[in-house]
């Protein structure tokens, strides 16, 4: 029921802009990025996935997304630092950033970063979708 | 036209023209011969008909110098018409040259061949029009002139008016200023008019000086108001000012004034009389300004008097001062004498002290000799008073050994008992009577006493003795005292002995126990301490100091202990000590310290308070232990748990998301078993998520990382909605009975967690109970929430462990899953909120789990 209404909202977005909103995922675990990519595409988003910060920095220049979804622990850095960099860059400072974390000291993470939202792993896909739509609507 | 021309003869035409009202003339040729002219033209010209046939110039000589002749000639030459309006021509009419005005036309008349035939001149006298116009113009001119004159006059008038107004304003301002000056002036002001000195104006200050009201003085003669002024010089002075116009100023004048009651008062005033002139420069009134300086004069008079007094006193003081100086000198002289005497005294004193010290030394020596003499005396007296009978019944073992062979001459019952021998030994040498002494040092000691004459004291010495045929170990304290006659060689030795076997053995047992205790403490690296709560002094074992990184000789009092504890633990330790003392229970704390070498250690301390008779806590005695290693292990375990749960989360995230996506595809799955499998997998996945969450939580709790995100919320609402999932399952009924509103300040999510845990426990452990009661009530200081089931209850021996970490309900016939962390976490959450948590249970009836939250006044509800 709830999911359906979200879908309606997504469809509304889809038809009103005629162009899918783009979500950029930085996640090194291929299983997680696979399912997120699949899920979000099903929900009508364009999705671009990077496994490392290096790849992300090389690839992101092509086209800016409408939202960043970052993992905290990455092989060549961490999502929190990346988030800070994005927020300090004029080009990306207004794009919402959501951080996915499985870390035990989650509360600490919450205090020290500038992200627009946090998603605790393991997450519920509907919850994640709610957060994403909320961020896109208020952005 | 031709027809007409033919029809009429030239003469006829001329006659017609003759009738025309317009003045008309016809000229021909270059000479402008007047061929024809009608009456109108002749009238204009003022000429007779006789001018016909003459030249234009000749007929009108006045035209010379005027443009008309030339104009006509032009018309003749060019054959073009000329027309002019309002043209002036000066003509001689009635013998007088006058100006006239005409509209006229010179028309070039040509014959059929186009040759000039004649000039037709028509003219209309417009003199009237011109004159009228000139008249109008003249009138306008004069009107304008008049108007201009008027404006000029007006302007002058206006300027005058303005000047007048300004003057008026200035006058008014002046009047105002004057009035203001007069009324508000801090000095008294009055205006006296005319030779009668009528009081025209007086300000409030003046009225005050006069001690009159406004109505009493205004428009009244000065001398009428103040009859007492008659005979005083002032009226005359005022008249003088009026006549001469010379102002008068007087300072500090004494005036006597009567108030309305007729009391005369002398006042001092400063005067100024200023003449006031009218516009003509005539003096009409006098402005008198008066300031009452009575006070100033009084004060000055007083001041002068005071100064005089001061001067007098000063002189007196000077005199006394001199006296004092003389006295001082005397004192100084006396002082010097006194100092000299004092020094002499000091010297004598020192001498005296020296003598006294010498005397004291002598005295001490004398006292010592006396003591020695006394003790000798006592010994003598004792020797003299000794009797055999006394020996016999003495409760102390006494005997006398005589001669070099140490013959037992006397041995009382006590001694025989000690030796374990019969009276038969009397008269026998000691060595024979007590053969077991052979090899022990006593015989030698006795011989030595006999030879040297010096007494010997033995303390708690071990002796092997045969008692009742059995050789045993015994302990004695004893004295060997030589007995001498006439100061010669000792003839015998008196033995006084006291058995201390029991005491020594007890002491040894205690010592051993202590030693074992010490060993045990040391083996466990437990340091012991004894803290005096009144002084803060601490008696510590060596190990205790070692535990704290100190050397045995370092001071270690409570103050030092607090200082070595890391600041974040200090308050906690103090609270624990205070709580233990207040409630008389075991003090137990774990805290981290920083040693002098900056290394850190974890210490576990336990202790028990001791109280005096009045119930006041005086000491805490207990042990300390270095638990750094254990803490390190715990840390490693917690780290492991943290990493493990974190690592587990990633695959679970994938699993969960995959299952969710699979669930969304269920409409494509036709096999119902597959759907069941998905549902089962989802349920299991949720459980495993929960378990991992618990593991992570436990980790947070031990790290003290459980952060409360407190906010104001309605607990009643939370209670009503929290456990819908249980109701949804359909198997259980949740009876919620709570007040309408329960505002609390707490972490909503955590409290929800506790409630869910309680309800889930009820479902899990009391599955046979279909109804679960959820109640909440507002008490005096707290809100109590209860979750009650009607299950089979909890055995009493399990009750104390319900909230322990990793504890599991140990039911023999049932298996329960979980880590046993649920209630432990609940307890942590509630404790951190400052609340209490607990459970009551009765076997076969059911259990109630409850918690409380303190009531906090909220801004939103109060």
Q: In the A/B pair of chains, how many CB contacts fall below 8 A?
A: 57
Is B646 within the bounds of a domain?
Answer: no
- pLDDT tens figures, B739-752: 888 888 888 888 88
- Label each residue of B701-738 as H, E or C: HHCCCCCCCCEEEEHHHHHHHCCHHHHHHCCCEEEEEC
In a domain, A46, yes or no: yes
User: What tokens were used for A133?
Assistant: 């739509």
Q: Are B538 and B558 in contact (CB under 8 A)?
A: yes
B599 vs B209 pLDDT, higher one: B599
Closest by Cβ to A125, choosing from B646, B657, B700 = B657
Minimal-distance CA residue of chain B relative to A37: B657
Look at chain A and count its residues: 139
CB contact under 8 A, A35 and B655: no
- Alpha helices by DSSP H, listed for B386-500, are 388-393, 413-419, 430-433, 442-452
DSSP letter, residue B492: E
> Quick check: is A116 in a domain?
yes
User: Does the predicted interface ipTM exceed a cut of 0.95?
Assistant: no
**Domain housing B227:** 185-298
Q: Is A89 helix (H, G, I), strand (E, B) or coil?
A: coil
B305 found inside a domain:
no
Q: Does residue B813 or residue B562 have the better pLDDT?
A: B562
**How far apart, in whole angstroms, are the C-alpha atoms of residue B294 and residue B312?**
27
What's the whole-number average pLDDT of chain B? 81
| Average pLDDT for runs of 10 along chain A of length 139 | 54 58 93 93 93 89 87 87 89 90 60 76 89 88
Contact across the interface for B707 and A107, Cβ inside 8 Å: yes
Q: How far apart are CA B822 and CA B694, in angstroms?
A: 7
**Residues B604, B624 contacting (CB under 8 angstroms):** yes
Chain B neighbors of A124, CB-CB under 8 A? 656, 660
Chain B residues within an 8 Å CB radius of A35: 654, 657-658, 661
Instruction: Give one word for B255, left, alpha or beta, with left for phi > 0 and alpha for psi -120 to 50.
Output: beta
How far apart are the C-alpha atoms of B439 and A100, rounded to whole Å? 91
Residues B215, B258, single domain; the answer is: yes
**Which pLDDT score, from 0 to 100, does residue A5 have?**
57
Same domain, B719 and B840: yes
Q: Which CATH number goes with the domain that contains A133?
A: 3.40.50.2300
> Do B718 and B751 touch, CB atoms closer than 8 A?
yes
Pairing status of strand A67-71 against strand A22-26: parallel
For residue B1, is pLDDT > 50?
no
Q: Which of B653, B660, B696 sits opposite A32 (nearest CB)?
A: B653
Q: Say whether pLDDT at B178 is over 70.
A: no
Same domain, B588 and B722: no
| Sign of the dihedral through C-alpha B261, B265, B267, B271 | positive
Burial B173-209 (b: 16+ CB within 10 A, else e): eeeeeeeeebeeeebbbbbbbeeebbbbbbbebbbeb
B697 close contact with A: CB closer than 8 A: no
Domain boundary among B108, B125, B142: B125
Residue of B nearest to A125 (CA): B657
CB contact at 8 A, B238 and B288: yes
Same domain, yes or no, for B376 and B395? Answer: no
- Region of B793 (left: φ > 0; alpha: ψ -120 to 50; beta: rest) is left
* CB neighbour list of residue B224: distance below 8 Å, 6 or more residues apart: none
Q: Are residues B193 and B96 in the same domain?
A: no
Residue-level pLDDT at B859: 46
CA–CA gap between residue B421 and residue B413 (Å, rounded)? 10
Predicted pLDDT of residue B817: 56
Does residue B783 share a domain with residue B737?
A: yes
In sequence order, which ranges of B386-428 are alpha helices (DSSP H)?
A: 388-393, 413-419
Q: Is B404 on the interface with A (CB under 8 A)?
A: no
| Average pLDDT, integer, range B355-367 | 84
A17 assigned to some structural domain: no
| Tokens of residue A10, six digits | 């997504």
Contact yes or no for B653 and A39 at CB 8 A: no
Domain with A39 in it: 22-138
Q: How many CB atoms sit inside 10 A of residue A28's CB? A: 17
Tell me the longest C-alpha to C-alpha distance in chain A.
41
Of the partner residues A35, A104, A122, the one whose CB lies closest to the CB of residue B642: A104
In a domain, A41, yes or no: yes
The two structure tokens encoding residue B348: 């004598």
Which helix (H) or strand (E) segment holds residue A77: the answer is strand A77-78
Range B405-439 burial, b when 16+ CB lie within 10 A, else e: ebbbebbbebbbebbbbeeebeeebbeebbeebee
Q: Is residue A5 part of a domain?
A: no
B31-85 per-position pLDDT tens digit? 888 888 888 788 778 788 888 888 888 888 888 778 888 888 888 888 888 888 8
Tally of domains within chain A: 1
Q: B705 at the A interface (CB within 8 A)?
A: yes
Choosing among B652, B653, B696, B700, which should be mutated to test the A contact, i.e. which has the most A CBs within 10 A? B653
pLDDT digits 0-9 by tens, B398-453: 888 888 888 888 888 888 888 888 888 888 888 888 888 888 888 888 888 888 88
Banded pLDDT at B362 (limits 50, 70, 90): confident
Could you tell me if B21 and B6 are in contact, meaning their C-beta atoms sit under 8 angstroms apart? Answer: no
| Tens-place pLDDT, residues B120-172 | 888 887 777 777 777 778 878 887 888 888 787 788 778 777 777 777 777 67
Picking from B103, B125, B147, the residue at the C-terminal end of a domain is B125
Q: Does residue A72 form part of some domain?
A: yes
**Residue B542, both tokens:** 């060596």
Distance from CA of A120 to the nearest CA of B (A): 10
Residue B472 pairs in a beta bridge with B465
∠A13-A15-A21 over CA atoms, to 5°?
A: 45
pLDDT of residue B654: 92
Q: Indicate whether B396 and B470 sit together in one domain.
A: yes
Q: Is the peptide bond before A122 cis (omega within 30 degrees of 0)?
A: yes
- Beta strand A97-101 pairing with A67-71: parallel
Q: Which CATH number fits the domain that encloses residue B13? A: 3.30.450.20
pLDDT tier, B716 (very low <50, low <70, confident <90, very high otherwise): confident
Distance CA B563, CA B549 (A): 13
In angstroms, rounded to a whole number, what is the distance separating the alpha carbons of residues B84 and B68? 11
Quick check: is A16 in a domain?
A: no
d(CA B541, CA B530): 9
Q: How far is A42 from chain B (nearest CA, A)?
A: 10
B13-38 burial string, b = 16+ CB within 10 Å, else e? eeeebeeeeebbbbbbeeebbbebbb
Domain count, chain B: 6
N-terminal to C-terminal alpha carbon distance within chain A: 26
């Amino acid at each position: 029921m709830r999911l359906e209404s979200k879908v309606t909202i997504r469809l509304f977005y889809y038809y009103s802009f005629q162009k899918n909103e783009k979500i950029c995922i930085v996640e090194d675990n291929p299983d997680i990025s696979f399912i997120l990519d699949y899920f979000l595409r099903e929900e009508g988003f364009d999705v671009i996935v990077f496994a490392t910060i290096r790849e992300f920095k090389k690839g992101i220049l092509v086209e800016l997304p409408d939202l960043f979804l970052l993992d905290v622990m990455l092989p060549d850095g961490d999502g929190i630092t990346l988030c800070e960099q994005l927020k300090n860059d004029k080009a990306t400072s207004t794009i919402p950033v959501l951080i996915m974390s499985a870390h035990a000291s989650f509360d600490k993470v919450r205090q020290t970063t500038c992200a627009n939202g946090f998603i605790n792993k393991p997450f519920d896909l509907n919850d994640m979708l709610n957060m994403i739509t909320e961020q896109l609507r208020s952005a | 036209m031709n027809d007409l021309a033919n029809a009429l003869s030239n003469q006829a035409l001329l006659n017609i023209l003759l009738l025309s009202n317009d003045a008309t003339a016809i000229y021909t040729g270059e000479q402008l011969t007047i061929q024809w002219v009608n009456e109108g033209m002749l009238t204009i010209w003022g000429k007779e008909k006789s001018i016909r046939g003459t030249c234009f110039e000749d007929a009108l000589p006045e035209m010379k110098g005027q443009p008309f002749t030339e104009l006509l000639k032009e018309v003749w030459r060019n054959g073009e018409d000329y027309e002019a309006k309002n043209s002036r021509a000066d003509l001689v009419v009635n013998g007088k040259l006058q100006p006239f005005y005409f509209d006229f036309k010179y028309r070039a008349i040509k014959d059929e061949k186009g040759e000039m035939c004649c000039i037709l001149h028509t003219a209309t006298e417009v003199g009237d029009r011109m004159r009228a116009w000139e008249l109008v113009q003249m009138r306008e001119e004069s009107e304008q002139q008049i108007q201009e004159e008027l404006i000029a006059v007006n302007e002058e008038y206006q300027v005058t008016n303005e000047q007048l107004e300004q003057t008026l304003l200035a006058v008014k301002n002046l009047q105002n200023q004057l009035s203001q000056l007069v009324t508000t002036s801090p000095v008294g002001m009055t205006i006296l008019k005319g030779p009668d000195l009528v009081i025209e104006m007086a300000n409030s200050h003046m009225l005050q000086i006069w001690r009159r009201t406004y109505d009493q003085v205004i428009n009244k003669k000065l001398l009428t108001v103040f009859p007492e002024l008659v005979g005083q010089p002032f009226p005359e002075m005022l008249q003088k000012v009026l006549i001469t116009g010379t102002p008068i100023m007087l300072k500090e004048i004494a005036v006597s004034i009567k108030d309305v009651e007729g009391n005369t008062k002398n006042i001092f005033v400063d005067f100024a009389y200023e003449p006031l002139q009218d516009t003509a420069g005539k003096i009409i009134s006098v402005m008198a300004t008066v300031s009452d300086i009575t006070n100033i004069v009084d004060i000055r008079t007083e001041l002068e008097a005071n100064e005089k007094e001061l001067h007098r006193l000063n002189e007196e003081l000077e005199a006394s001062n001199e006296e004092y100086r003389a006295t001082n000198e005397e004192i100084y002289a006396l002082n010097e004498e006194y100092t000299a005497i004092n020094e002499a005294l000091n010297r004598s004193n020192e001498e005296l002290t020296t003598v006294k010290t010498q005397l004291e030394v002598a005295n001490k020596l004398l006292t010592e000799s006396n003591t020695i003499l006394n003790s000798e005396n006592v010994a003598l007296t004792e020797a003299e008073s000794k009797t055999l009978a006394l020996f016999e019944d003495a409760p102390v073992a006494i005997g006398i050994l005589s001669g070099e062979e140490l013959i037992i001459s006397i041995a009382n019952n006590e001694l025989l008992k000690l030796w374990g021998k019969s009276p038969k030994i009397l008269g026998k040498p000691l060595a024979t009577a007590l053969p077991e002494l052979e090899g022990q040092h006593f015989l030698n000691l006795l011989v030595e006493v006999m030879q040297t004459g010096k007494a010997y004291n033995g303390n708690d010495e071990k002796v092997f003795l045969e008692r009742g045929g059995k050789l045993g170990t015994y302990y004695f304290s004893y004295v060997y005292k030589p007995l001498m006659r006439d100061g010669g060689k000792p003839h015998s030795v008196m033995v006084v002995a006291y058995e201390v076997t029991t005491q020594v053995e007890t002491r040894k047992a205690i010592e051993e126990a202590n030693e074992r205790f010490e060993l045990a403490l040391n083996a466990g690296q437990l340091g012991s301490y004894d803290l005096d709560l009144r002084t803060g002094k601490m008696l510590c074992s060596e190990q205790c100091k070692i535990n704290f990184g100190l050397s045995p000789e370092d001071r270690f009092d409570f103050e030092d202990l607090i200082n070595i504890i890391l600041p974040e633990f200090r308050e906690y330790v103090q609270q624990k000590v205070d709580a233990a003392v207040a409630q008389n229970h075991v003090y137990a704390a774990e805290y981290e310290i920083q040693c002098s070498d900056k290394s850190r250690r974890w210490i576990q301390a336990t202790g028990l308070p001791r109280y005096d008779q009045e119930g006041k806590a005086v000491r805490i005695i207990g042990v300390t232990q270095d638990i750094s290693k254990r803490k390190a292990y715990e840390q490693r375990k917690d780290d492991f748990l943290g990493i493990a749960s974190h690592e587990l989360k990633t695959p679970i995230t994938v699993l969960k998301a995959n299952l969710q996506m699979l669930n969304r595809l269920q409409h494509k799955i036709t096999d119902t078993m597959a759907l069941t499998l998905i549902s089962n997998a989802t349920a299991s996945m949720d459980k495993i998520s929960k378990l991992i969450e618990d593991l992570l939580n436990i980790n947070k709790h031990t790290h003290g990382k459980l952060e409360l995100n407190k906010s104001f919320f309605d607990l009643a609402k939370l209670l009503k909605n929290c456990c819908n999932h249980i109701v949804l399952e359909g198997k259980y009924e949740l009876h919620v009975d709570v007040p309408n509103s329960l505002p609390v300040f707490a972490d909503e999510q955590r409290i929800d967690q506790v409630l869910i845990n309680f309800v889930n426990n009820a479902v899990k452990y009391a599955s046979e109970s279909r109804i679960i009661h959820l109640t909440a009530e507002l008490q005096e200081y707290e809100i109590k929430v209860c979750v009650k089931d009607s299950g089979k209850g909890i055995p009493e021996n399990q009750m104390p462990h319900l909230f322990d970490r990793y504890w599991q309900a140990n039911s023999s016939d049932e298996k329960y899953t979980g880590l046993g962390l649920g209630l432990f976490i609940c307890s942590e959450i509630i404790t951190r909120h400052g609340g209490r948590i607990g459970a009551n249970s009765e076997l076969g009836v059911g259990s109630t789990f409850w918690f409380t939250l303190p009531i906090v006044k909220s801004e939103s509800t109060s």
